[in-house]
Structures are given as C-alpha cells and as structure tokens.
Structure 1
C-alpha cells in the first residue's frame, strides 16, 4: 500500500528530489523522473526517516535513506532549475487576502490586480503601471467574508464587473465596475450555505454571463444572467463531498462550457467533470482521483497537444495532480507530483520560455513560492526553484508584462498572513521596473 504522501528524497545533488505517483489500471507506480528508478505494486511507506520497502521475497523490511535507496541513480547529472524571477516589492491590501486575480479594469491595456480580503470584508484593486509594478490599493467595502471572486461584464457596458462568493453572509454579490477603481453595488443572491468559490461563463448560449457557485454543503448552484446584469436561479446539483472550488471551461471543444469541481472532503478526494449541455444544465459527472483534499483547479496544456489539461493542488500530502485531457472532456489517470509543505494554490504558464507549461505553487507551511518546470508530458523536473514569500502565501496568479519592446511573465502572490500581495518580476525586467512601483512596499 502506497503512502498518500509524496515521497521526498533530499539528495538534491543526485537529482533525486521527489517521487511522482501515477495511477494505472493495475495499481499505482512511483517514479523518480530524474533517474528513472521505478517501483510498482510493492508494499511501500514513507516517513521522515526514509522509505521502508517490504520485498516480494519475504526477506523482510529494509530501511533505505537518501542515496542508499537510489544508489543506481547516483550517476545522474544534477538538475539545476532555471531562476527566471526575482522578488520586486510587496503592496498592502486588506486583511487576510484569499484570492488574487489579474484583469484590465480601466481599459488601458495594462494588467491590474484585485484581491478578496476575507477578514476586512473588502476587495483591493491595484492599477498597473505598465512595467510589471502596481500603484497603491483602492480598497472597497463589500459583503461579509468575501472568499472568492470571478470577473465578467455582467451588464454589457464594456466595463469589468465582479461577483463575490460571500461565505460570511451566505450569498453571492455583484459589483458593477465604473472603470476608475470604483464599483456600484449590484444585486445580491442568497445561497443558504457557505459559498466557497464562483466562476462565470455563458452556460446557456444566450450571450449573457452566468454563474456557477460551489457551496460547502455538497451543492453547486447555477444562476442564469440577463442583459441588465441580474440573475435568476438555475439548476442546483447536489453531489460530491465538501466542494472547494468550481471552474467553467469548454473541455471538449463544442462551444459549451463544462463544469469542474474539486471535492475536498474525506469521502471523495477527486475532481468532478460535468459536461455542459449548452442550455444551463450539465450531464452526470465523472470523477477523477486526486491527492488528498484537493483545493483548487486550473487549466493548461502540459503536453502541447492543444487540448486542455487539469492542474489540481492537494492540501494534504504535499502534492499536486496533473490530468492530461483527451479532448472530449475526459482525462487520463492523474499523475501526482511532490510539492513543498502545505501547497494551497497553483497557476500554470511557460515561465522559462521553452514553450512548455510550468507550474507555480504557493506553500503555506514552508512560506515559499515553488516553480516546477515542465517536461512536456505532464511531469516536471526536480528540484523546483523556490522563492521566499511573505507570511501565509495563499494564492498566486501569473500575468504578462509588455513594455520596452519586451514581453515577460510576472507572478503575484496573495500573502494571507501579511495582508499584502508580493510581485515577482522576470530577470529580463531587472533594472527596467520603475522605482515608483515600490511605493507600496
């Protein structure tokens, strides 16, 4: 029986850092990508002292630690991860930010930031300067305990609006954007039990953005939008075990958004995929096993086949799961990869310019940002490149910096314990970012 924990071997000099688990039809396999060691269907457990393997020949358990376990791999060349980023500055936001999202709120073609601040009942908007840096926050009072947000133009006025999942008041709340950092209060809709996540796409094909809201009591509620930015209740689905996130995306390329929900409860550690019918309803879900307590899902193309794949961050077991898509809203068995201590959120992007999707993960317990560089097949090089963050990194978002005839990626973390967002700029921007952009630090 395999330990649910991603096995970690701190023998970095031999390129052996963390195992990856693959589920197969006959069981599970652990592989060490850098040296290609392989074990399957053996009795294996792991703890802080090492790895204990009970052999098939009845010889008894053998405790292997560090390089002794993988002496055959000692000849592998060390992998040195790229170092594409540097810490630039942190900007104050509200208390205990839980999400950070990028968008262009004032239509100047420059990326802005927005956060939900769960303990101050606010959102923070930070306008971009165009060089990867940001101005001081505009903080807006909103509903009780805003936990999650989605962005769309709900009333068709060419200004971005915001919908909030308000876990303290059991409602979703609409804010109509004015384009200048200010918002007008819109309608609020009760959902009755702790909304934890919200996503917005047009699920019934009428040209108006709709909402999908994940509720803590094993429900997903659909709201159908109108031209004026109001909503009416749609179908409600009761399924799963303690939803932790919801996302809408067309996974089978039929032009109809599909629904993806992560289930973080003890009875079903899985991501559920619901194929959209195009009329605001969804077919029965199919579950895909992940690591323990999956917290969130995002989309990428990890193997360059132009089909959407899934990235799921697992809150227990220090791992994340990638699921390669088949193009028909079904997925291959998940591959679990090791992360640092207590991963909480992830984002995928090509960070090193090799045209292969990489993964950035914030880790609560180890207080760092890890970047794992993709191999192009849904697995990743080890070790990762780690960057220290401020206290309580809770969420991460990537964005593009286009200035001075250069285009480079940037990263921003929501620092829950510090009440800030931290910006990491690409080394190609070093010396180019304005000193004024550090004003919030």
Structure 2
C-alpha cells in the first residue's frame, strides 16, 4: 500500500480549513480520498470504516462562543462542532469526526477468458452488428482455408457457431464498412497471396453475398475504409507490402471500386488506419513501415488524393497502429506496437498533422496488434496489445495526460495475433476478443470493472 498527500488552502484566512486529498493504492485499486481539515490538527485514520477522528487540546483566553462549520471539498463533506468554556484562561477539547467519500478506479480490467473454436490459422478479427439485433457479432479471417467465419453474438458474451464465406487467397486482414450505402454492414478482406481485396455485401440478417474481387497491389496486408473524396461513398486504402505503397481504391457505392492509385511508403508497409490528423475535416492515413522502423503520415487533400508521406521514428519492426486522443486535448494521437523491441510507441499529435517524438512503454514479447478504448470507464483512453510470442495480452491503463501505467498481463491461447474491442454482454463495458492463431481458438475476455 502507498499513499500520497496534498493540502491546499481554501482561503487566505489562516483559521479556515485546508483541503486534503489522500490517494491510497491497495493492490490493483487506486483509492482517492478527499477531506477538509482544520489548520494544525492531529489526524487519526481508521482504515476499516474510513472514519477520521481528530482530538485537539488548546489553551485559549477568548470569551464563551459556540459555532458549527460545514466544509465541502470536491470529494467529501466534513462537519465540525467546536465548544469553548467560559473562563479567562481555560482548556478546551475539540473532537471532529470526518467521513471521507472514496472514488475507486478499476485498473484490473479483465478476468479469466472463455474460448471457442474457429477455423484453421485465424489471423484477423473485427466486430459489428451484422444482423441488426443490437448485439455485437464477430468476423474472423482464416488464412489457410481462405474463409471469413461469421459468429453471431447472443448478447451474453457467447457466440453461435461460425458460418463461413469464401474470400481470396490468404486473407490477412478483415474489417467492416458500408460499401453500397444501404445502412447494412459489409465485410472486406485484404488477400496477400494474390494482391486483391474481397468485398462481402451484407444482407442485414447476418448473412453475406458472394465475394466481389478487386485488384489492389502486391502482398496486400492491411486496409482501412473511409470517404476520401467527399462523395459520401466508402473508399479503401490498402497497404501493399510487396510494392512499398498504399493503394487508394475509390468506391462506386455498389460494392465495386475504381482501379487503385498507389502512393509510395517506406519499406514493408503493413497496417494502415484512417483519421483526421490536422483537423481539416479531411481523412488522412497512417501506415506502419515494418522494415523502416517508422510510421508514415499521408495527409488527405479531400479529393481522393494524398500528400507524400512524412515519417516518424518508432521502435523496431512496427506492426499495428491505432489512433485516439490520449491526453484529452482534442487532437489525435498514435500508438504503435513494435514487434521486435517488445514495446508500444506513443506519438502525441500536435493537431496540424505532425507528431511529437515517441515515448516508449514495454510490453511482452512480439506485440502484434493494438486497440484503444476506455476499459475502466474513467473517461481516459487505455490500450490493449496482443503479444504473440508470450501468449498474452498487455493492458496499459491511460492516465489521461498522454502517459500510461505499467502493463497488466492476461494469458491467452497460443500465438495471439489479432484482437477487437466490443460490448459482448450488454453491460456497457468494453470487452475483448482475441484470435489465437496456433490453437485455432478465440478468447473472450469480459470486462470485470464495477
């Protein structure tokens, strides 16, 4: 257990109370206690009932008075009653009872997991409501069978048996989007062996149509979607690791796409995301370049074209990247999983498309994919990373100022390579699904925070 104390005057009057904040850490729980105290009074703390009692003996020469004072701090209310005897020189005793209100912040977000079987060599997972029943469903890409398996959610953290849909050869990545503007979620995969993407249009009942195949580039690995040219149609950006390029495929609003236009990256682009990094309401791109140890930023022009990439140093062999606001300043920041160095790089955004130098946090061995979300409902963004060589996930609780706490580790199945956050049991707390490639399972971690 450790504790920190901070006292600040509430007024310039030296006889007014002070505000005192006590932060106590019990194991995985951070307890913040606030109270108001009279100046110069002795304090006794009872940890069992959280009641504080102070007893003070003083000598005074003032006339008989009786007063009651109530002081309210940000996290507690304190009532103080004082009685002074009627003598020219007398001794008085003041007893004050203080009841402190606690704010408990959860930092141990997940308990043990449950697993269910998937297809062979599952490598990527995404989530969405595919049958419009207000429950989160899962879609998982199986690289050996060239399938996407769809698992409809029951709303209690369990899922129905998979239904498979054929896609292109070696689907490395799967994500969602609405590619024909019918209000129904569709699926798209990046197929690395043949340099294509497969689009599965959703029917709205949890089933999907036969794939539409579009050419991308060589060794298509990661992809993201967004409206890049402002026509209210979903477009695609594909990281083509064999071409050291990003291909932009503008959508036709019927599940088909125009021929891809390549933009140069550094060596071995793999994961790619879309966001607005310079607050101009135009979609930009961030791509990890695995053999160049950097992340490339391609600012969007709003007409489907992008500017040349600007790179920022990361750790060794960056794989996945995620965007969010880690310091609550309204600007987009980046977190990158570095596979070889076993770390996460945090790049704080300046709001103009540029980023500050990385701050590094350790994970376990070979982090592969990363997601961001508020896991403990404190209003700050947290991170969760899959560590493929350690058969684990690392949870990094955010402090809300761009820094993160030391990782907390949870075990998974064998060789976890992909993860997604979602509300799987309708308790309004973010849960986690992790794909374990080598034992052909998916682990479900339900959120255990209060």
Normalised by the shorter chain, which TM-score bucket? 0.7 to 0.9
Could you say which residue in structure 2 is the equivalent of 1:365? 389
| Equivalent residue in structure 2 for 1:352, among 359, 362, 376 | 376
Specify whether residues 131 and 357 from structure 1 end up closer, same or farther in structure 2 by C-alpha distance, changes over 3 A only.
same
TM norm structure 1: 0.76
Q: Residues 336-389 of structure 1: CA distance to partner in whole angstroms, max 9, x if unpaired?
A: 11111111111111212222211111111111111111122222222x221111
TM norm structure 2: 0.74
Alignment partners' CA distance in 2, 1:428 and 1:251: 32
Alignment partners' CA distance in 2, 1:366 and 1:416: 13
Mapped pair 1:160 → 2:181: no
Could you say which residue in structure 2 is the equivalent of 1:411? 432
| Equivalent residue in structure 1 for 2:210, among 185, 191, 209 | 185
Could you say which residue in structure 2 is the equivalent of 1:397? 420
Specify whether residues 157 and 387 from structure 1 end up closer, same or farther in structure 2 by C-alpha distance, changes over 3 A only.
same
Deviation at 1:78?
Answer: 9.1
Count of equivalent residues = 352
Q: What aligned pairs does 1:132-211 form with structure 2 within 5 A after superposition?
A: 132-211=157-236
Q: Root-mean-square deviation (CA), in Å?
A: 2.1
Deviation at 1:193?
Answer: 1.1
Q: Residues 149-207 of structure 1: CA distance to partner in whole angstroms, max 9, x if unpaired?
A: 22111112222111111112221111111123322124312234110111110101111
The DSSP-based 3-state class of the residue aligned with 1:417 is coil
2:153, 2:424 within 8 Å by CA — same for their partners in 1?
no
| Equivalent residue in structure 2 for 1:302, among 294, 303, 326 | 326
Could you say which residue in structure 1 is the equivalent of 2:305? 281
| Equivalent residue in structure 2 for 1:236, among 262, 267, 282 | 262
Alignment partners' CA distance in 2, 1:269 and 1:88: 33
Alignment partners' CA distance in 2, 1:389 and 1:186: 32
| Structure having greater relative contact order (Cα 8 Å, sep ≥ 6) | 1
Could you say which residue in structure 2 is the equivalent of 1:32? none
2:332, 2:348 within 8 Å by CA — same for their partners in 1?
yes
1:235, 1:280 within 8 Å by CA — same for their partners in 2?
no
Alignment partners' CA distance in 2, 1:160 and 1:231: 17
Specify whether residues 79 and 270 from structure 1 end up closer, same or farther in structure 2 by C-alpha distance, changes over 3 A only.
farther
Alignment partners' CA distance in 1, 2:424 and 2:247: 36
Which structure 1 residue ranges, 4+ long, deviate > 3 Å from structure 2?
A: 76-81
Task: Name stretches of at least 5 consecutive residues in structure 1 with no aligned partner.
Answer: 1-12, 15-75, 430-441
Alignment partners' CA distance in 2, 1:317 and 1:88: 27
| Equivalent residue in structure 1 for 2:124, among 76, 87, 99 | 99
Alignment partners' CA distance in 2, 1:87 and 1:126: 21
Alignment partners' CA distance in 1, 2:255 and 2:388: 37
Could you say which residue in structure 2 is the equivalent of 1:4? none
Alignment partners' CA distance in 1, 2:260 and 2:171: 22
Alignment partners' CA distance in 2, 1:308 and 1:133: 34
Could you say which residue in structure 1 is the equivalent of 2:364? 340
Mapped pair 1:385 → 2:408: yes
Specify whether residues 428 and 334 from structure 1 end up closer, same or farther in structure 2 by C-alpha distance, changes over 3 A only.
closer
Could you say which residue in structure 2 is the equivalent of 1:271? 295
Specify whether residues 294 and 231 from structure 1 end up closer, same or farther in structure 2 by C-alpha distance, changes over 3 A only.
same
2:125, 2:141 within 8 Å by CA — same for their partners in 1?
yes
Larger Rg: 2
1:138, 1:181 within 8 Å by CA — same for their partners in 2?
no
1:234, 1:280 within 8 Å by CA — same for their partners in 2?
no
Alignment partners' CA distance in 2, 1:353 and 1:317: 30
